[in-house]
Amino acid sequence: MSKKNRVRVITAVAAAMAVMLLGMLLWSRSAESDWKEKEDAISVYLWSADLMTDYAPYIQSQLPDMNIEFVVGNNDLDFYRFMMENDAMPDLITNRRFSLYDAKPLNDQLLDLTYTQEVGTIYLAYLENYTNSDGTVNWLPLCAEVDGLIANKKMFEQYDIDLPTDYDSFIAACQAFEEKGIRGFAADFAYDYTCLEILQGLSIPELTSMDGQFWRHQYEDTTSAVNGLDDKIWPGAFQRMEQFIRDTNMQEDDVWLDHGKIEEMFQNGEVAIIRGTGAQVIEYEAVDGIDPLFLPYFGQNGEEWLLTYPAFQVALDRNLESDAWRKEQAFRILDVMLSEEGQNFLAQKKDVIPYSRNVKLELSESLSNLQPYIEKNRLYVRLASNDFFAASKDVVQKMIRGEYGAEQAYAAFDARLKTPKDKTEETVRTFTQGYENIFYQQGGNQAFSVMAGTLRKHYGSDVLLAPSYCFTGAVFEADYTEEMLENMIMPNALEAWQREMTGNELKQFIRILVEGEDGCFKPFNCCSLPTVSGITIEVEEKDGSYQLLGVLEDGKEIREDKLYGVTCLDKACYLEPIANILFPQEGLAGFRKEERLVRKEWSSFCRDDGELSKPECYMILHDQSLEKGKGDYTE
Amino acid sequence: MDKKKKWFGIIVILCWLIAVGISLGIYSEFVSKMIYEESSHHLTEIYAQVAKSVYGIVEEKWKILKIWDTHLAHMDDSDEMRSFLQEQKEEWNFTDFYFISSDGNYYSPDGENGFIDLKDQMARLVKDRESVAMHIAFPGRTELQVYAVPSKGGIYQGFHYDVIAISYDNSALLHTLDVSAFDGMAGSYVVSANGRVMIDNVGDLERSTFNLLAYLESHAQMDKQETAFLKQEFLQGNEGVVTFSMQGEKYYLVYQPVGVQDQVVVGLVPMKLVNASMNRVQRVTMIVFICIVALSGLLMLLFLVMKNREKLKKKDMDILYREELFGTLSNNVNDIFLLLDRKDFTLNYVSPNICVQMGIRRQDIKSCVRDIEQEFGIIQNLKELAVAEHRQWEHEYTNKETGEVRWYQLLAYRADICDCENCVVVLSDRTQEKRMNQSLLDALELAKSANEAKSNFLANMSHDIRTPMNAIIGFTTLLEHDAENPDKVREYTRKLSVSGRHLMGLINDILDMSKIEAGQTTLQVTDFCMTDILEEMQSIILPQTRARQQTFEVTTEGDIPGEVQGDKVRLNQILLNLLSNAVKYTQEGGTISLRLEAFPGTLRHHTHFRFIVADNGYGMSGEYIQTIFDPFSRENTEQKREIKGTGLGMAITKNIVDLMGGTIEVESTLGEGSVFTVNLELLNCGVQKKGFLREDSVAESSESDEKHSLSGLHVLVAEDNEINAQIIMELLRMEGASCELTVNGQETLTRFESAPPGTFDLIFMDIQMPIMNGYEAAKRIRICGHADCATIPIIAMTANAFDEDVRRALDAGMNAHMGKPMDMEKLKHIVSDLLGRTEI
């Protein structure tokens, strides 16, 4: 090759290499910048605040590279419908009370999981209850709790009464105890779920028959016209309920029995058999005087059944389909939830029954007697539509009170189911400005700040402290019904507690909220940091934990000797540990509880056109891992 | 042009490469397609068998259940039923048998009860009376395949049943999915239409999955469209094959509906397994193809390289050749090339032949060229040379080495070579031309003098020829007049004969000379005796000398060999010419001598002969002696003017001596006589052979001992010329022979053929005849088949007496040759020789 040609070749090769290098550089830069831009939080709405303390941190710990925003939602699917209408559907939603019937309005907004591995893991027997009429699956159940009867064996031994093995012996046992002046059976009929479960539990054989399954299929079929009870199965169900009420000598006041009362009665030996879950069996084992034995629902035809319901159901937003990265992240969270370890964590030694084929069944000794029922597939998944809950409570309570006989109860139940609901609920407040549910390093969460500030002013406090899970999301620029206003605050039982604190006490309080303490909730990501109003807290993130750097008032460190009127929003069970730490003498007693639940207070305020506060810069977070999208929102 | 060729070559190569690549691609695609189709077909068949197996199992189970149902229906005793079922269990290896109520509750033969949720399949069983097969999974239990058939109904241990069923562990059915053809590498699944896996034989956990479609979407490189297509296919119960990639490996996915509910058998088979042998073939073919292409490419490359090399070599050779050629040309041509710079007339190049041409030494080239430039006026001429002008001039130059004078023509012109102004000066050696011109001028002069001599000769000859002709014609007229006077007739006849012979001699001399000049004279080398020559001379000359009262003596000296080889006739001619001249140019009473001296020759086996002819006659002038051997040369003196002669004798003699390789010298003094000395070397040899007779080989002496006669011969004469024919016939009649005349070769042939054998004694054949010439007629006669055709003598008669004519006569089959006019004595001698007869 001539020298000239050699030079040409070398030049060409060098140019090509330069272009390649440049391209790789640009690509890598673009890839890198592409990754940063997508580092957004994946929103997971949990149906209960109880899940925030352990379960949420567990999930976060399994996915340390992911920014997950856990929000306590509502147990009501209407809550998500409202979010869907405002185009603010979370990436993952969970729900405890579920039926295909109730879930219908959301189906179009939920991801079709039919052809996923996750669906494949669910036993067909249970998947049927989550399969739409068109064969699609949007919701997946997690492990199931078992519901049945809990007998105190000690009492049976004490009174030398045979443990029941079927309905007749159950009734005989109840009557035997009655003769002893002890309630044979009692249940917390104050709750709709108890009414629903006992009503269904007594008729499981019928409900699982061909006709029963046919009716259920029709009722749950979103395209079917059936929205009431059938006339083959259900009349008998109410007859059995009536029979049961009579056989167990239920009183009118039983409709007021709540969990606490039942527990008290059971512990005190005032009742021999209660309705309960497998988890409660384990709890009662630790109680002196109770030797719990889990019993199935005894069918009057001799069959024995366990009633089950999943810990919760989970679904994914359909919008994930258009964002491959977010979809992948969401599925990672789902897989953690559905994993054996995740379900075991959720079960927390509750002896739950897995709905998934990839989760091993491990029953503790306490519930080992359930094995045969499981092996015999005597497991019934309750029908848990909102209508059924409401109708069950209404009708069963009335049956207990003697207002309804079987026929009346059937008719009333059926009528209630068939009554069209007025979906056009009254708008009680229209917000003309919306606030995002986005956490900013400099500022905090706008929507939470608005609600916290509004409540602070409403309660007339200098400072308001609230855990992150109090507020359920953005303030939409939309029309709100009363129900939706209430749904902005969770959990349902959230209460407002007020107390005067010194600056120092306030600081310590906030420190516990930020840094966590034994027995107290410990924030595990930026979205789980508390929301405050009236002050600004400076927090630093270090190795996955948070440290309070300072509490500022008008830009200055608060005076430790100054007294501040403080409102704390929380459930008593979560506030009490903090109170005990800070105020060991008084504990929670040193706090004054507002009468109304916070959600009620809030909805009332909003309904009365109360002015919403502007967002405050309540949080300055020093977190190196948050670079983009978490800037300053302060004006 | 070269660049264009180069780019063209590159484009051609690129096109070829692209063509090869496309061909490879097309072939590869074609083969891949074939492999895919073949493999797909193969796989479809295999998995059709698998699906068939799966369905077969289902069908078999249904069948036996129905059979059992019939049996059970006839049994009243539960124990009998249990026992029967236990036997069946042992035989059929199912996990459990179920009596199932329409509510879904089951009761086993061992009394186990439970709930078997057949969902909507229960309605098919109970209401539609259709058999079903389902995949059942409960927590805490292994996954089962349940086969259920509607029953006639019955009671077992108080349990009312409407359906009977048996279950098998999934693991018991895995064997149906095993496809041994793929070394266990194929993953087989039974899935429902939505991809949910019911049975799989995949041991590898990584490939085990709950939903095959989800697995493919996440693990395989299948996009949504492809999985959607599969979903649709499964739902519609279609069969087919698709391909996909997973973790860098390609797979076939083959699906076949089982025919039971919405179950589908799906196989995932690595492509490399299925296509192993085909791939091998393809690979080998591709390799072979690539090798062939590469080889052909290499060969082409080699060819191109070699061609290029050849081209380069050729170019180099061409350049070298041109250089060599130029060098050779310049060395070997007489032209000298000078290349000078136009500006300062620096010498840039001088052709190397200057050394030879001009006698210059290589080291002196530069300095000498300067001198040459000066001498030839080159610089001056170049200075005056304008653009596009050339100048030409001549110059005489003396070679310094050899002293040779040469003439040069110079041509100077301007030439721009590689943008440099140069002047080219060509020195062309024109010496040869110059000399040639001079030669031509000399030849012209010679021709003029020869022409003049010829004219003189003709002028002379005119007189010499006319004189005897005049006598012949005159005496013929007198004969006519005095025909009645025998004495006068005899006298006139004698004089006619003398004049005729004289004229004949003149003509012969002229002919000899023209033959000599034409180079047609050849020597007839034969063996002869030198003493015979002397004797013959003596016999011929002696009478002439006696007539002029001269004395003639012949002497010899030296050892004369017996026989020598040579042309006796020509030697006779030489001696006769010399002796005849001696007689002619010696006065009466003079003396003439012939002396023969013999020495050993310079060549081996040769004798050197010296013939000395001396006389004391008139002698010759020194001036004449210079031209004595020139044609037509005669001394123009009063004495000699009267002597008759052609002036060609000495020229002829000289030519013959030269032809013989000898020398002839003359010494002469005017008024005292002359001496001619001829030196020859002849080869000593044996006896002279007898050959073709020709008249001049016949002894000159008319006084031979033998008399030859033609009397009594019958001769066939072929002669087209009437006069010649008359003469010949008359002469023959005079000799006593009879003859017949034919006028052409064909007639001669015909006559001879028709004549009885022995009719003719010989044939005289003229050569130049119409229709068929004498040569042809002689040839035909020799082959005609006549009894005498081979033996009859044929004598050629022709005016042409050249050796060529004699040879042609011999080749034609003739026996002898006679020239015209005919010499009867010679003729009789020849005839005598031919017929072997003497005077009868």
CA B56 vs. chain centroid, Å, equals 83
Q: Is B194 in contact with A114 (Cβ distance < 8 A)?
A: yes
Nearest by Cα to B264 from B43, B50, B42, B41: B50
Q: Is the residue at A364 inside a domain?
A: no
> Sheet harboring B738-742: ordered strands across?
B693-694, B816-819, B794-798, B762-766, B714-718, B738-742
User: What residues of chain B, 239 to 268, have a C-beta less than 8 Å from chain A?
Assistant: none
A230 in the same domain as A328: no
Q: Is B231 in contact with A208 (Cβ distance < 8 A)?
A: no
Return the residue of A nearest to B135 by Cα: A124
Percent of chain A residues topping a pLDDT of 90: 45
pLDDT value of position B764:
94
Burial of A316 (0-12, 13-18, 19+ CB in 10 A): buried
Q: Is B115 in contact with A377 (Cβ distance < 8 A)?
A: yes
Range of the domain at A17: 1-37
Fold designation for B14-167: Beta-Lactamase (3.30.450)
A390 in the same domain as A254: yes
Nearest by Cα to B787 from B815, B758, B761: B758
Q: pLDDT tens for residues A475-494?
A: 999 999 988 898 899 888 89
A445 in the same domain as A528: yes
**B140: closest CA of chain A, how far (Å):** 6
Q: Which helix (H) or strand (E) holds B624?
A: helix B622-625
pLDDT value of position B760:
95
What ipTM was predicted for this assembly? 0.75
A318 in the same domain as A271: no
* Of the partner residues A117, A128, A376, the one whose CB lies closest to the CB of residue B115: A376
pLDDT value of position A530:
94
**Distance of alpha carbon B459 from alpha carbon A89, whole angstroms:** 150
Q: pLDDT tens for residues A523-553?
A: 988 888 999 999 999 999 888 789 999 999 9
Q: State the number of CA atoms in the 13 A half-sphere of B386 facing the CB.
A: 1
Q: Is B195 in contact with A120 (Cβ distance < 8 A)?
A: yes
Q: Is the residue at A23 inside a domain?
A: yes
Mean pLDDT of the region B595-607: 87
DSSP string, B254-298: EEEE-SSTT-EEEEEEEHHHHTHHHHHHHHHHHHHHHHHHHHHHH
pLDDT value of position B421:
84
pLDDT value of position B800:
64
Percent of chain B residues topping a pLDDT of 70: 89
A48 in the same domain as A21: no
Does B173-278 match B714-835 in CATH topology? Answer: no
Mean pLDDT of the region A197-201: 93
Q: State which of A220-229, A556-565, B349-358 shows the largest mean pLDDT.
A: A556-565
Residue B627's contacts (CB-CB under 8 Å, 6 or more residues apart) are B633
Q: Is the residue at A632 inside a domain?
A: no
A549 in the same domain as A447: yes
- Using only the alpha carbons of chain B, give its radius of gyration: 66
pLDDT value of position A136:
87
**Distance of alpha carbon A418 from alpha carbon B424, whole angstroms:** 125
A293 in the same domain as A166: yes
Four-residue CA torsion sign, A519, A525, A531, A532: positive
Burial of A160 (0-12, 13-18, 19+ CB in 10 A): exposed
Contacts of A374 in chain B (CB under 8 A): 138-140
Q: Which helix (H) or strand (E) holds A536?
A: strand A536-542
> Sheet harboring A556-557: ordered strands across?
A556-557, A545-553, A536-542, A619-622
pLDDT band for position A37 (50/70/90)?
Answer: very low
Mean pLDDT of the region A370-395: 86
Q: Is the residue at A191 inside a domain?
A: yes
Domain B333-429 class, CATH top level: alpha beta
**Distance of alpha carbon B525 from alpha carbon B527, whole angstroms:** 7
Mean pLDDT of the region A435-455: 90
Q: Identify residues of A whose CB sits under 8 angstroms from chain B CBs.
A: 114-121, 123-125, 128, 135, 205, 208-210, 213-214, 217, 303, 305, 353-355, 357-358, 361, 371, 374-379
Question: Between B801 and A246, whose confidence is greater?
Answer: A246
Q: What is the CATH number of the domain that holds A78?
A: 3.40.190.10
Q: What is the CATH number of the domain that holds A554?
A: 3.90.780.10
The token pair that represents A514 in the structure block:
């930020």
**Distance of alpha carbon B700 from alpha carbon B693, whole angstroms:** 14
Expressed in angstroms, the distance from the first to the final Cα of chain B is 99
Q: Does B123 touch chain A (CB under 8 A)?
A: yes
pLDDT value of position A563:
94
User: What is the number of other CB atoms lying within 10 angstroms of the CB of residue A612?
Assistant: 19
**Distance of alpha carbon A430 from alpha carbon A378, whole angstroms:** 50
Q: pLDDT tens for residues B161-209?
A: 999 999 988 777 776 666 666 666 778 888 888 888 888 776 554 555 7
Q: pLDDT tens for residues A489-518?
A: 988 889 999 999 999 999 999 999 999 888
A150 in the same domain as A298: yes
Q: Is B102 in contact with A371 (Cβ distance < 8 A)?
A: no
Q: Is B104 in contact with A209 (Cβ distance < 8 A)?
A: yes
Question: Between B289 and B537, whose confidence is greater?
Answer: B537
Burial of A423 (0-12, 13-18, 19+ CB in 10 A): exposed
pLDDT band for position B698 (50/70/90)?
Answer: very low
Q: Is the residue at A89 inside a domain?
A: yes
> Where does B714-835 sit in CATH, by number?
3.40.50.2300
pLDDT value of position B691:
46
Report the largest interatomic distance among the alpha carbons of chain A, rounded to a whole angstrom: 117
The token pair that represents B139 in the structure block:
């927590």
Q: pLDDT tens for residues B26-42?
A: 887 887 788 778 888 88
Mutate: best of B101, B117, B212, partner A, most A CBs <10 A: B117
Which residues are registered as beta bridge partners of A152?
A: A292
pLDDT value of position A30:
42
pLDDT value of position A539:
94
pLDDT value of position A615:
92
Q: State which of A86-95, A135-144, A454-463 shows the largest mean pLDDT.
A: A454-463
Per-chain mean pLDDT for chain B: 83
A242 in the same domain as A222: yes
**Distance of alpha carbon B116 from alpha carbon B133, whole angstroms:** 13
How far is the CA of A270 from the CAs of A157, A177, A264, B663, in angstroms? 15, 10, 8, 181
Percent of chain A residues topping a pLDDT of 70: 91
CATH architecture of B435-511: Orthogonal Bundle (1.10)
Nearest by Cα to B379 from B363, B362, B361, B391: B391
Q: Is the residue at A363 inside a domain?
A: no
pLDDT band for position A20 (50/70/90)?
Answer: low
pLDDT value of position B270:
87
**Distance of alpha carbon B474 from alpha carbon A319, whole angstroms:** 156
A136 in the same domain as A46: yes
pLDDT value of position A400:
95
Which residues are registered as beta bridge partners of B765?
A: B718, B796
A335 in the same domain as A467: no
pLDDT value of position A33:
34
Q: pLDDT tens for residues B269-279?
A: 888 877 777 77
What pairing do the DSSP bridges indicate for beta strands A313-316 and A140-141? Answer: antiparallel
Burial of A487 (0-12, 13-18, 19+ CB in 10 A): buried
Q: Does B105 touch chain A (CB under 8 A)?
A: yes
Return the residue of A nearest to B217 by Cα: A116
Residue A34 has pLDDT above 50, yes or no: no
The token pair that represents B730 in the structure block:
């008359």
Number of domains in chain A: 4
Length, in residues, of chain B? 840
Mean pLDDT of the region A584-591: 90
**Distance of alpha carbon B744 from alpha carbon B716, whole angstroms:** 12
How far is the CA of B567 from the CAs of A179, B527, B657, B683, in angstroms? 186, 8, 11, 11
Give me the residue label for tokens 């005894």: A298
**Distance of alpha carbon A199 from alpha carbon A213, whole angstroms:** 16
Q: Is B139 in contact with A303 (Cβ distance < 8 A)?
A: no
Mean pLDDT of the region B536-556: 90
pLDDT value of position A447:
92
Residue B392's contacts (CB-CB under 8 Å, 6 or more residues apart) are B409, B410, B411, B412
Mean pLDDT of the region B502-515: 77
Percent of chain B residues topping a pLDDT of 90: 23
Q: Does B403 touch chain A (CB under 8 A)?
A: no
> Where does B521-689 sit in CATH, by number?
3.30.565.10
CATH architecture of B173-278: 2-Layer Sandwich (3.30)
A494 in the same domain as A413: no
Domain spans in chain B, listed from the N-terminal domain onward: 14-167, 173-278, 333-429, 435-511, 521-689, 714-835
